[in-house]
């Protein structure tokens, strides 16, 4: 497996963690606006994952199909905090914003790599990644 494919697969896994977390949070919260937001954010993650999987497949390699242990741990932590909180929405927003930080930093690190092909592949996804990050950051600040 090439270094480029390895990095793309790592980004797929981290982004899939985010998608799964949004799907899970959507099912846990009661607020209709948050449900709609989390659905929208999960959809954005699905689009990024599909684009990255296409890049891996174009290299005749197998895209990652799972997530990471860190992503699963973050989800369990958020569930625990939400169960103990009087405002489950705020708890999920805070934890999802941290997940967005993780995704953004992973993409930024990959963009800083010495592989021009990788930077080119990721440049089309960065606006969506940043927009998702900024949306959750702004929502967290507004609370």
Dist. CA 79–CA 81, nearest whole Å: 5
Buried/exposed code over 1-27 (b: 16+ C-beta within 10 A; e: otherwise): eeebbebbbbbbbbbbbbbbbbbbbbe
pLDDT tens per residue, range 65-103: 877 667 667 667 666 766 666 677 888 999 999 999 999
Classified as helix, coil or strand, 64 is: coil
CATH number of 3-142: 1.20.1260.10
Model pTM?
0.88
What the block records as the tokens of 137 is 């950051």
Backbone phi, then psi, for 75, in 5-degree steps? -65, -45
Is pLDDT of 105 > 90?
A: yes
Residue 60: CB partners within 8 Å, gap ≥ 6? Answer: none
pLDDT tens per residue, range 109-136: 999 987 888 888 899 999 999 999 999 9
């Amino acid at each position: 497996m090439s270094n480029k494919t390895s990095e793309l697969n790592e980004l797929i896994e981290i982004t899939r963690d985010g998608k799964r977390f949004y799907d899970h949070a959507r099912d846990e919260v009661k607020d209709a606006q948050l449900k709609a937001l989390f659905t929208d954010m999960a959809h954005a993650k699905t689009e990024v994952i599909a684009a990255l999987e296409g890049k891996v497949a174009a290299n005749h390699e197998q895209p990652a199909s799972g997530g990471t242990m860190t992503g699963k741990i973050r989800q369990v932590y958020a569930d625990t905090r939400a169960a103990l909180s009087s405002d489950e929405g705020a708890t999920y927003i805070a934890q999802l914003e941290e997940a967005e930080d993780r995704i953004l930093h992973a993409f930024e690190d990959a963009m800083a790599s010495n592989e021009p092909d990788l930077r080119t592949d990721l440049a089309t996804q960065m606006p969506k990644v940043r927009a998702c990050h900024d949306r959750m950051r702004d929502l967290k600040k507004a609370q």
